[in-house]
Chain A
Protein backbone atom coordinates (compact mmCIF):
# COMPACT_ATOMS: atom_id res chain seq x y z
CA UNK A 1 0.00 0.00 0.00
CA UNK A 2 1.33 3.47 -0.91
CA UNK A 3 2.22 5.46 2.18
CA UNK A 4 3.42 9.05 2.29
CA UNK A 5 5.20 11.03 4.97
CA UNK A 6 4.41 14.75 4.78
CA UNK A 7 7.19 16.88 6.24
CA UNK A 8 6.32 20.55 6.72
CA UNK A 9 9.57 22.52 6.81
CA UNK A 10 10.08 26.16 7.63
CA UNK A 11 13.74 27.11 8.06
CA UNK A 12 14.88 23.58 8.87
CA UNK A 13 18.24 23.52 7.08
CA UNK A 14 19.94 22.05 10.17
CA UNK A 15 17.47 19.25 10.83
CA UNK A 16 16.07 18.14 7.51
CA UNK A 17 18.86 15.76 6.49
CA UNK A 18 18.69 13.98 9.85
CA UNK A 19 14.92 13.65 9.52
CA UNK A 20 15.19 12.17 6.01
CA UNK A 21 17.95 9.76 7.07
CA UNK A 22 15.88 8.68 10.05
CA UNK A 23 12.92 8.00 7.75
CA UNK A 24 15.00 6.08 5.19
CA UNK A 25 16.56 3.98 7.92
CA UNK A 26 13.57 3.31 10.20
CA UNK A 27 10.56 3.58 7.89
CA UNK A 28 11.80 2.42 4.48
CA UNK A 29 8.37 1.49 3.12
CA UNK A 30 7.15 5.08 3.40
CA UNK A 31 7.63 7.65 0.64
CA UNK A 32 8.18 11.20 1.79
CA UNK A 33 7.55 14.72 0.55
CA UNK A 34 8.97 17.88 2.08
CA UNK A 35 6.78 20.97 1.92
CA UNK A 36 9.09 23.96 2.03
CA UNK A 37 6.93 26.73 3.48
CA UNK A 38 8.74 29.71 2.01
CA UNK A 39 11.86 29.22 4.13
CA UNK A 40 14.25 32.16 4.31
CA UNK A 41 17.30 30.00 5.02
CA UNK A 42 19.01 27.43 2.79
CA UNK A 43 16.33 24.74 3.15
CA UNK A 44 15.46 24.81 -0.57
CA UNK A 45 19.11 24.75 -1.73
CA UNK A 46 19.70 21.83 0.59
CA UNK A 47 16.77 19.93 -0.91
CA UNK A 48 17.97 20.60 -4.46
CA UNK A 49 21.56 19.58 -3.71
CA UNK A 50 20.48 16.32 -2.13
CA UNK A 51 17.73 15.66 -4.69
CA UNK A 52 15.11 15.43 -1.97
CA UNK A 53 11.47 15.16 -2.95
CA UNK A 54 10.25 18.67 -2.21
CA UNK A 55 7.29 20.91 -2.94
CA UNK A 56 8.28 24.55 -2.76
CA UNK A 57 5.55 26.96 -1.66
CA UNK A 58 6.12 30.38 -3.29
CA UNK A 59 5.28 32.26 -0.07
CA UNK A 60 5.10 31.42 3.63
CA UNK A 61 1.59 30.12 4.26
CA UNK A 62 1.83 28.90 7.85
CA UNK A 63 1.70 25.36 9.20
CA UNK A 64 -1.95 24.55 8.40
CA UNK A 65 -1.91 25.47 4.72
CA UNK A 66 1.59 23.97 4.42
CA UNK A 67 0.46 20.57 5.67
CA UNK A 68 -2.69 20.79 3.56
CA UNK A 69 -0.49 21.11 0.47
CA UNK A 70 0.96 17.74 1.46
CA UNK A 71 -2.50 16.21 1.72
CA UNK A 72 -3.41 17.60 -1.70
CA UNK A 73 -0.26 16.03 -3.09
CA UNK A 74 -1.09 12.71 -1.41
CA UNK A 75 -4.58 12.78 -2.90
CA UNK A 76 -3.26 13.59 -6.37
CA UNK A 77 -0.69 10.81 -6.23
CA UNK A 78 -3.19 8.29 -4.90
CA UNK A 79 -1.64 7.56 -1.51
CA UNK A 80 -3.79 5.44 0.79
CA UNK A 81 -2.01 6.55 3.97
CA UNK A 82 -0.45 9.90 4.87
CA UNK A 83 1.58 10.82 7.94
CA UNK A 84 2.39 14.27 9.26
CA UNK A 85 5.95 14.33 10.50
CA UNK A 86 7.68 17.48 11.76
CA UNK A 87 10.77 18.68 9.93
CA UNK A 88 12.55 19.72 13.13
CA UNK A 89 13.58 16.24 14.21
CA UNK A 90 11.38 15.86 17.28
CA UNK A 91 9.49 12.91 15.84
CA UNK A 92 11.03 9.45 15.50
CA UNK A 93 10.51 7.40 12.35
CA UNK A 94 10.69 4.11 14.29
CA UNK A 95 7.10 4.62 15.49
CA UNK A 96 5.56 4.84 12.03
CA UNK A 97 5.37 1.04 11.71
CA UNK A 98 3.67 0.78 15.09
CA UNK A 99 1.20 3.51 14.17
CA UNK A 100 0.42 1.82 10.86
CA UNK A 101 -0.20 -1.50 12.63
CA UNK A 102 -2.54 0.23 15.08
CA UNK A 103 -4.40 1.88 12.23
CA UNK A 104 -4.99 -1.44 10.45
CA UNK A 105 -5.87 -3.37 13.61
CA UNK A 106 -8.33 -0.87 15.02
CA UNK A 107 -9.56 0.29 11.60
CA UNK A 108 -9.00 3.91 12.63
CA UNK A 109 -9.16 6.94 10.38
CA UNK A 110 -6.50 8.78 12.36
CA UNK A 111 -3.73 7.55 14.62
CA UNK A 112 -2.01 10.12 16.82
CA UNK A 113 1.49 9.60 18.19
CA UNK A 114 1.03 10.56 21.82
CA UNK A 115 3.66 11.66 24.34
CA UNK A 116 1.35 11.35 27.33
CA UNK A 117 -0.06 7.82 27.16
CA UNK A 118 2.83 6.41 29.21
CA UNK A 119 4.64 9.67 29.88
CA UNK A 120 8.01 8.65 28.47
CA UNK A 121 10.63 10.78 26.77
CA UNK A 122 10.50 14.52 26.24
CA UNK A 123 7.38 15.92 27.88
CA UNK A 124 7.44 19.67 27.14
CA UNK A 125 7.20 22.30 29.88
CA UNK A 126 4.75 22.17 32.83
CA UNK A 127 2.98 25.26 31.58
CA UNK A 128 2.47 23.82 28.12
CA UNK A 129 1.40 20.42 29.47
CA UNK A 130 -1.29 22.16 31.50
CA UNK A 131 -2.56 23.88 28.36
CA UNK A 132 -2.68 20.59 26.48
CA UNK A 133 -4.62 19.02 29.35
CA UNK A 134 -7.22 21.79 29.25
CA UNK A 135 -7.72 21.38 25.49
CA UNK A 136 -7.91 17.63 25.90
CA UNK A 137 -10.63 18.00 28.59
CA UNK A 138 -12.53 20.47 26.42
CA UNK A 139 -12.65 17.95 23.59
CA UNK A 140 -13.67 15.22 26.04
CA UNK A 141 -16.57 17.32 27.31
CA UNK A 142 -17.77 17.97 23.76
CA UNK A 143 -17.25 14.54 22.20
CA UNK A 144 -16.97 12.04 25.12
CA UNK A 145 -13.63 10.73 23.94
CA UNK A 146 -10.31 11.61 25.51
CA UNK A 147 -7.25 12.27 23.38
CA UNK A 148 -4.26 12.78 25.66
CA UNK A 149 -1.96 14.57 23.25
CA UNK A 150 -4.15 16.83 21.13
CA UNK A 151 -1.28 19.05 20.03
CA UNK A 152 0.92 16.23 18.75
CA UNK A 153 2.01 16.93 15.19
CA UNK A 154 2.70 13.24 14.57
CA UNK A 155 -0.42 11.78 13.07
CA UNK A 156 -1.32 9.19 10.48
CA UNK A 157 -4.52 9.37 8.46
CA UNK A 158 -6.21 7.13 5.91
CA UNK A 159 -7.54 7.88 2.43
CA UNK A 160 -10.88 9.21 3.70
CA UNK A 161 -9.20 11.85 5.85
CA UNK A 162 -6.65 12.70 3.17
CA UNK A 163 -9.60 13.63 0.96
CA UNK A 164 -11.32 15.48 3.79
CA UNK A 165 -8.19 17.47 4.69
CA UNK A 166 -7.56 18.39 1.06
CA UNK A 167 -10.91 20.16 1.12
CA UNK A 168 -10.74 21.69 4.57
CA UNK A 169 -7.87 22.14 6.96
CA UNK A 170 -7.64 24.82 9.68
CA UNK A 171 -4.91 27.36 8.93
CA UNK A 172 -3.54 28.50 12.30
CA UNK A 173 -2.38 26.09 15.04
CA UNK A 174 -4.42 23.32 13.44
CA UNK A 175 -3.64 20.22 15.54
CA UNK A 176 -6.29 20.38 18.30
CA UNK A 177 -8.93 21.75 15.96
CA UNK A 178 -8.50 18.91 13.47
CA UNK A 179 -9.02 16.40 16.30
CA UNK A 180 -12.29 18.12 17.18
CA UNK A 181 -13.22 18.35 13.50
CA UNK A 182 -12.63 14.61 12.97
CA UNK A 183 -14.65 13.69 16.04
CA UNK A 184 -17.55 15.85 14.95
CA UNK A 185 -17.48 14.09 11.57
CA UNK A 186 -17.43 10.72 13.36
CA UNK A 187 -14.00 9.65 12.19
CA UNK A 188 -12.32 7.12 14.43
CA UNK A 189 -9.24 8.41 16.25
CA UNK A 190 -6.82 6.31 18.29
CA UNK A 191 -3.58 7.10 20.09
CA UNK A 192 -0.31 5.26 20.14
CA UNK A 193 2.34 5.88 22.79
CA UNK A 194 5.50 7.40 21.35
CA UNK A 195 8.49 9.24 22.69
CA UNK A 196 9.73 12.46 21.17
CA UNK A 197 13.04 14.23 21.17
CA UNK A 198 13.47 17.67 22.64
CA UNK A 199 13.67 20.15 19.81
CA UNK A 200 17.37 20.43 19.02
CA UNK A 201 17.44 23.19 16.45
CA UNK A 202 14.95 25.84 15.43
CA UNK A 203 12.18 26.99 17.70
CA UNK A 204 8.59 25.99 18.31
CA UNK A 205 6.01 27.84 16.29
CA UNK A 206 4.60 29.11 19.61
CA UNK A 207 6.58 31.19 22.12
CA UNK A 208 5.66 31.78 25.76
CA UNK A 209 3.88 35.09 25.33
CA UNK A 210 1.75 33.68 22.53
CA UNK A 211 0.83 30.59 24.55
CA UNK A 212 -2.11 32.15 26.35
CA UNK A 213 -3.46 33.66 23.18
CA UNK A 214 -2.98 30.23 21.58
CA UNK A 215 -5.10 28.60 24.28
CA UNK A 216 -7.91 31.12 23.90
CA UNK A 217 -7.85 30.94 20.11
CA UNK A 218 -7.76 27.17 19.92
CA UNK A 219 -10.47 26.68 22.58
CA UNK A 220 -12.60 29.20 20.73
CA UNK A 221 -12.13 27.50 17.37
CA UNK A 222 -12.90 24.07 18.88
CA UNK A 223 -16.14 25.42 20.33
CA UNK A 224 -17.03 27.18 17.05
CA UNK A 225 -16.26 23.97 15.17
CA UNK A 226 -18.72 22.13 17.42
CA UNK A 227 -21.55 24.24 15.96
CA UNK A 228 -20.47 23.99 12.34
CA UNK A 229 -22.80 22.22 9.97
CA UNK A 230 -20.47 20.92 7.28
Chain B
Protein backbone atom coordinates (compact mmCIF):
# COMPACT_ATOMS: atom_id res chain seq x y z
CA UNK B 1 0.00 0.00 0.00
CA UNK B 2 1.18 3.46 -0.92
CA UNK B 3 2.37 5.51 2.06
CA UNK B 4 0.24 8.45 0.95
CA UNK B 5 -2.88 6.26 0.88
CA UNK B 6 -2.05 5.01 4.37
CA UNK B 7 -1.74 8.54 5.70
CA UNK B 8 -5.02 9.56 4.09
CA UNK B 9 -6.95 6.60 5.48
CA UNK B 10 -5.58 7.09 8.99
CA UNK B 11 -6.10 10.87 8.91
CA UNK B 12 -9.71 10.52 7.75
CA UNK B 13 -10.49 7.86 10.34
CA UNK B 14 -9.01 9.93 13.14
CA UNK B 15 -10.92 12.95 11.84
CA UNK B 16 -14.22 11.08 12.03
CA UNK B 17 -13.40 9.70 15.47
CA UNK B 18 -12.69 13.23 16.71
CA UNK B 19 -15.94 14.44 15.15
CA UNK B 20 -17.89 11.71 16.96
CA UNK B 21 -16.10 12.40 20.25
CA UNK B 22 -16.91 16.08 19.89
CA UNK B 23 -20.60 15.22 19.39
CA UNK B 24 -20.53 13.07 22.51
CA UNK B 25 -18.77 15.81 24.46
CA UNK B 26 -21.54 18.26 23.50
CA UNK B 27 -24.06 15.65 24.65
CA UNK B 28 -25.61 15.42 21.21
CA UNK B 29 -24.70 11.78 20.75
CA UNK B 30 -25.22 8.82 23.05
CA UNK B 31 -22.11 6.75 23.75
CA UNK B 32 -23.98 3.47 23.28
CA UNK B 33 -24.66 4.25 19.62
CA UNK B 34 -21.14 5.46 18.89
CA UNK B 35 -19.38 2.25 19.94
CA UNK B 36 -19.97 0.29 16.69
CA UNK B 37 -18.48 3.19 14.72
CA UNK B 38 -15.45 3.58 16.99
CA UNK B 39 -14.75 -0.13 16.58
CA UNK B 40 -15.18 0.20 12.81
CA UNK B 41 -12.61 3.00 12.52
CA UNK B 42 -10.26 1.25 14.92
CA UNK B 43 -10.30 -1.78 12.62
CA UNK B 44 -9.68 0.47 9.58
CA UNK B 45 -6.69 2.12 11.26
CA UNK B 46 -5.20 -1.22 12.33
CA UNK B 47 -5.56 -2.59 8.82
CA UNK B 48 -3.96 0.53 7.34
CA UNK B 49 -0.97 0.26 9.65
CA UNK B 50 -0.56 -3.49 9.16
CA UNK B 51 -1.73 -4.25 5.60
CA UNK B 52 -0.15 -7.70 5.88
CA UNK B 53 -3.09 -8.68 8.12
CA UNK B 54 -5.44 -8.49 5.16
CA UNK B 55 -3.54 -11.21 3.31
CA UNK B 56 -3.73 -13.47 6.35
CA UNK B 57 -7.46 -12.80 6.80
CA UNK B 58 -8.03 -13.49 3.10
CA UNK B 59 -6.16 -16.77 3.45
CA UNK B 60 -8.19 -17.82 6.51
CA UNK B 61 -11.47 -16.92 4.76
CA UNK B 62 -10.38 -18.80 1.65
CA UNK B 63 -10.57 -15.68 -0.51
CA UNK B 64 -8.02 -15.48 -3.33
CA UNK B 65 -7.85 -11.71 -3.76
CA UNK B 66 -7.07 -9.68 -0.61
CA UNK B 67 -9.10 -6.80 -2.10
CA UNK B 68 -12.19 -9.01 -2.04
CA UNK B 69 -11.47 -9.82 1.59
CA UNK B 70 -11.52 -6.09 2.35
CA UNK B 71 -14.92 -5.73 0.68
CA UNK B 72 -16.19 -8.76 2.56
CA UNK B 73 -15.07 -7.39 5.92
CA UNK B 74 -16.33 -3.88 5.16
CA UNK B 75 -19.79 -5.09 4.13
CA UNK B 76 -19.92 -7.38 7.16
CA UNK B 77 -19.17 -4.49 9.51
CA UNK B 78 -21.71 -2.23 7.82
CA UNK B 79 -24.43 -4.90 8.02
CA UNK B 80 -23.69 -5.32 11.71
CA UNK B 81 -23.94 -1.57 12.32
CA UNK B 82 -27.17 -1.22 10.37
CA UNK B 83 -28.82 -4.14 12.14
CA UNK B 84 -27.95 -2.59 15.49
CA UNK B 85 -29.67 0.62 14.28
CA UNK B 86 -32.67 -1.41 13.25
CA UNK B 87 -32.89 -2.87 16.78
CA UNK B 88 -32.68 0.61 18.25
CA UNK B 89 -35.48 1.90 16.00
CA UNK B 90 -37.65 -1.02 17.02
CA UNK B 91 -37.02 -0.27 20.68
CA UNK B 92 -37.75 3.43 20.11
CA UNK B 93 -40.99 2.61 18.34
CA UNK B 94 -42.15 0.46 21.24
CA UNK B 95 -41.24 3.16 23.74
CA UNK B 96 -42.89 5.99 21.81
CA UNK B 97 -46.09 3.97 21.39
CA UNK B 98 -46.23 3.29 25.12
CA UNK B 99 -45.62 6.93 25.90
CA UNK B 100 -48.28 8.15 23.47
CA UNK B 101 -50.75 5.70 25.00
CA UNK B 102 -49.91 6.77 28.53
CA UNK B 103 -50.24 10.45 27.61
CA UNK B 104 -53.59 9.85 25.94
CA UNK B 105 -54.90 7.90 28.92
CA UNK B 106 -53.59 10.48 31.40
CA UNK B 107 -55.15 13.32 29.42
CA UNK B 108 -58.37 11.36 29.31
CA UNK B 109 -58.13 11.13 33.09
CA UNK B 110 -57.38 14.82 33.72
CA UNK B 111 -59.01 16.94 31.03
CA UNK B 112 -62.67 17.29 30.23
CA UNK B 113 -63.97 17.19 26.68
CA UNK B 114 -63.27 20.88 25.99
CA UNK B 115 -59.60 20.41 26.84
CA UNK B 116 -59.82 22.16 30.22
CA UNK B 117 -58.37 20.67 33.37
CA UNK B 118 -61.05 19.03 35.45
CA UNK B 119 -60.04 19.53 39.09
CA UNK B 120 -62.00 16.64 40.54
CA UNK B 121 -60.51 14.31 37.94
CA UNK B 122 -57.04 15.70 38.59
CA UNK B 123 -57.23 14.91 42.29
CA UNK B 124 -58.42 11.40 41.44
CA UNK B 125 -55.51 10.80 39.10
CA UNK B 126 -52.92 12.20 41.49
CA UNK B 127 -54.21 9.98 44.29
CA UNK B 128 -54.07 7.05 41.91
CA UNK B 129 -50.48 7.83 40.90
CA UNK B 130 -49.44 8.26 44.52
CA UNK B 131 -51.01 4.97 45.44
CA UNK B 132 -49.19 3.29 42.57
CA UNK B 133 -45.90 4.70 43.82
CA UNK B 134 -46.69 3.55 47.33
CA UNK B 135 -47.31 0.05 45.97
CA UNK B 136 -43.94 0.06 44.28
CA UNK B 137 -42.18 1.21 47.45
CA UNK B 138 -43.98 -1.51 49.41
CA UNK B 139 -42.80 -4.13 46.94
CA UNK B 140 -39.20 -3.18 47.55
Interface band, chain B: 10 to 19
Counting CB contacts under 8 A, is B100 at the interface? yes
Q: Which of A47, A51, A52, A69 contacts B104 (CB 8 A)?
A: A69
Given that A55-B108, A69-B105 are known contacts, is A48 also in contact with B113, CB under 8 Å in the complex? yes
Taking a contact as CB atoms under 8 Å apart, the answer to whether B108 and A58 are in contact is no
Counting CB contacts under 8 A, is A72 at the interface? yes
Taking a contact as CB atoms under 8 Å apart, the answer to whether B97 and A58 are in contact is no
Counting CB contacts under 8 A, is A7 at the interface? no
Taking a contact as CB atoms under 8 Å apart, the answer to whether B113 and A51 are in contact is yes
Taking a contact as CB atoms under 8 Å apart, the answer to whether A58 and B113 are in contact is no
Q: Which of B93, B104, B113 contacts A57 (CB 8 A)?
A: B104
Q: How far is the CB of A6 from chain B (nearest CB, A)?
A: 13
**B-facing mask of A53-77, CB < 8 A → 1, else 0?**
0111111010001001100110010
Chain B at the A interface: SS class: helix
Query: Across the interface, which residues of B come within 8 angstroms of A55, CB to CB?
Result: 104-105, 107-108
Instruction: State A54–B108 Cα separation when bound (angstroms).
Output: 8
Q: Which of B93, B97, B107 contacts A56 (CB 8 A)?
A: B107
Query: Across the interface, which residues of B come within 8 angstroms of A72, CB to CB?
Result: 101, 105
Taking a contact as CB atoms under 8 Å apart, the answer to whether B97 and A65 are in contact is yes
Taking a contact as CB atoms under 8 Å apart, the answer to whether B113 and A76 are in contact is no
Counting CB contacts under 8 A, is B103 at the interface? yes
Q: How far is the CB of B127 from chain A (nearest CB, A)?
A: 14
**A-facing mask of B98-126, CB < 8 A → 1, else 0?**
00110111011000011100000000000
Q: List 5 A-B contacts (CB under 8 A).
A: A54-B113, A56-B107, A56-B108, A72-B101, A73-B108
Top 8 closest A-B pairs, CB basis? A65-B97, A69-B101, A55-B108, A57-B104, A55-B104, A48-B113, A58-B100, A51-B113
Using A48-B115, A69-B104 as known contacts, list a sample of 12 further A-B pairs with CB atoms less than 8 Å apart, ordered by residue number in A: A35-B104, A55-B108, A56-B108, A57-B100, A57-B101, A58-B100, A58-B104, A59-B96, A65-B97, A72-B105, A76-B105, A171-B93
